[in-house]
Amino acid sequence: MEEILRQALLYDFYGELLTGHQKRVYEDVVLNDCSFSEVAENLGISRQGVHDMIKRCNRLLAGYEEKLHLVEKFVSLRRQVGEIRKIAGQQAGSPAMKEIEEISTTILEEL
């Protein structure tokens, strides 16, 4: 499950950098959970071609992440804001803590 989440995050951040054909194949296999055979039949390409395309896309997306670190930063920021929210919730009672909790909730929703 963790690998699927990683692939989905990489695609969310860098998917627009793939070609239209790459995006369609990647979405069908990774996001829509279609088999290589189904995608190959629908697109009129070989099963091996689908497999190679997924590997190539995974390499491309991972390469973008190695250079830009956007997913890493997103996950870190989300974790840190979650910690702020947790601490504010533990210190509930004061108006300032309530405001911090509300702001952190808004940030998490926007991420």
Is 60 exceeded by the pLDDT of residue 1?
A: no
Q: How much is the pLDDT for 51?
A: 97
Q: Place 109 in a pLDDT band, splitting at 50, 70 and 90.
A: confident
Q: In whole angstroms, what separates CA 21 from the centre of its chain?
A: 20
Quick one: CA dihedral 35, 14, 71, 106, positive or negative?
Answer: negative
pLDDT tens by residue, 69-90 = 999 999 998 898 888 888 877 7
pTM of the model: 0.79
Is 80 exceeded by the pLDDT of residue 98?
A: no
C-beta of residue 73 within 8 angstroms of C-beta of residue 66: no
pLDDT tens by residue, 10-68 = 999 999 999 999 999 999 999 999 999 999 999 999 999 999 999 999 999 999 999 99
Q: How much is the pLDDT for 37?
A: 96
Is 70 exceeded by the pLDDT of residue 104?
A: yes
The 10 Å Cβ neighbour count of residue 72 is 12
Q: Any idea which residue has 């997306």 for tokens?
A: 61
